[in-house]
Amino acid sequence: MKKWKKITIIVVSVILSIILALVGAFLVITYIGETQFHQDDTHISADEVTIEDEDTISYNGKKYTLNKNIVSFLVMGIDRDNVNENFSSGANGQADVIFVATIDTETKKACIIPISRETMVDVNLFTKDGKYAGTKREQLCLAYAYGNSTEQSSENVLTSVRRLLYNINISSYVTIEMEGVEKLTDLVGGVDITSLEDLNSTKLTLKKGQKTTLNGNQAHTYIAYRDDDVEANARRMERQKQFLSALLNKTSNQVLNDYSKLVALYSTMTPYFNSDISFAQIAYLAQNCLSINFGDAIEYKSIDGTLTEGEQWIEFEADKESILQTVIDVFYIPQ
């Protein structure tokens, strides 16, 4: 065999070996990510539910199978003046936007369960030096205050949400400072919406039905503004849902048209973003979900309940049957 042919074969073999090694490494990483998402998969724990076996439950005369293609994480929007500055436990701000996001990696369907910040839940309390001090039933948004870091505060909200949703597996959290939403909105060139109600604030004035393109500062106002009446937060959650769908739709379309946009997104959001999602989990999501047009594919599942004006604040008491049915609809497959 001629020398140049031998060299060509060697070079091609080396390149193929490198490619195979990289593919193998990526497959290992994505497998680890999948395992991390599902390492705590268990059935919901509720007296109304009968556990048939490892995969099956019965509820209201029907059987359901745990959907092991579902990955889930809690998303929190934190609105405060001092971005990423952490104070002592009990004074670390509040979670204004709270929702559980799920993705079915088999069907490519995305679902969001919005959770009112006013939902009354059992919240873990901690002293200023970080020692556990029992629980107290109060608004979910206040759970974020108890932590000496973004990580501790986020974990505390996640703990309360898991309790609320009958201990279904929500594997991770994503915490975003609301100022980051401003930056992202400006990065994608603004977000088009049709106002769901009349808004009269010093930063934004809109009439119901008015079409407009929100810049970052206006977007912050649109999703954060709240009147003083009992229904104010419920109306705000509808605006948040509307804006989130529009923002995700525009962002995902831009990324699908130009993957280099991911670099700009990453550098823009890094200062305002905190999460316990690992690199392996990100790789797994990227492998399974880049083709999803999130804004159009998102399904919203609401939790019903009762709003009352308590002694200190507005209280939302979530209906237990509604919680159960919502969790089953999202995390289980009917037989």
Evaluate if residue 15 carries a pLDDT over 70: no
Mean pLDDT value of segment 291-306: 76
Mean pLDDT value of segment 276-285: 79
The pLDDT, as a whole number, for residue 86 is: 53
How many other C-beta atoms lie within 10 A of the C-beta of residue 161?
Answer: 24
Evaluate if residue 83 carries a pLDDT over 70: no
Find which of 7-11, 65-69, 256-260, 309-313 is predicted with most confidence, using mean pLDDT. Answer: 65-69
Lowest mean pLDDT among 58-67, 200-209, 281-290, 313-322: 281-290
> What is the dihedral angle through the alpha carbons of 133, 272, 205, 231, rounded to the nearest 10 degrees?
-30
One-letter identity of residue 262 = L
Evaluate if residue 269 carries a pLDDT over 70: yes
Mean pLDDT value of segment 134-145: 91
Please give the structure tokens belonging to residue 190: 């603004």
Evaluate if residue 87 carries a pLDDT over 60: no
Q: Each residue of 33-56: pLDDT tens digit?
A: 677 777 878 889 899 999 999 899
Rounded to whole angstroms, the Cα distance separating 143 from 64 reads 32
Rounded to whole angstroms, the Cα distance separating 243 from 50 reads 39
How many other C-beta atoms lie within 10 A of the C-beta of residue 167?
Answer: 15
The pLDDT, as a whole number, for residue 13 is: 63
Mean pLDDT value of segment 229-235: 87
Q: Give me the percent of the chain exceeding a pLDDT of 70.
A: 84
Q: Each residue of 91-114: pLDDT tens digit?
A: 567 888 999 999 888 888 889 999
Q: Give me the percent of the chain exceeding a pLDDT of 90.
A: 43
The pLDDT, as a whole number, for residue 188 is: 94
The pLDDT, as a whole number, for residue 14 is: 62
The pLDDT, as a whole number, for residue 183 is: 93
The pLDDT, as a whole number, for residue 294 is: 55
Q: Which residue has the higher pLDDT, 160 or 88?
A: 160
Band (257; pLDDT cuts 50, 70, 90): confident
The pLDDT, as a whole number, for residue 248 is: 85
The pLDDT, as a whole number, for residue 218 is: 95
Band (286; pLDDT cuts 50, 70, 90): confident
Rounded to whole angstroms, the Cα distance separating 134 from 150 reads 20
The single-letter DSSP state of residue 91 is -
Rounded to whole angstroms, the Cα distance separating 196 from 209 reads 6
The pLDDT, as a whole number, for residue 127 is: 79
- Largest separation between any pair of C-alpha atoms in the chain: 90
Rounded to whole angstroms, the Cα distance separating 124 from 226 reads 27
The pLDDT, as a whole number, for residue 18 is: 61
Evaluate if residue 273 carries a pLDDT over 90: no
Q: Which residue has the higher pLDDT, 129 or 30?
A: 129
Evaluate if residue 296 carries a pLDDT over 70: no
The pLDDT, as a whole number, for residue 290 is: 61
The pLDDT, as a whole number, for residue 331 is: 96
The pLDDT, as a whole number, for residue 216 is: 94
Mean pLDDT value of segment 187-199: 94
One-letter identity of residue 166 = Y
The pLDDT, as a whole number, for residue 80 is: 65
Which domains can be identified in the chain, with CATH numbers? 40-334 (3.40.630.190)
The pLDDT, as a whole number, for residue 265 is: 83
Contact call for residues 155 and 148 (beta carbons, < 8 A): no
Sign of CA dihedral 196, 179, 84, 313: negative
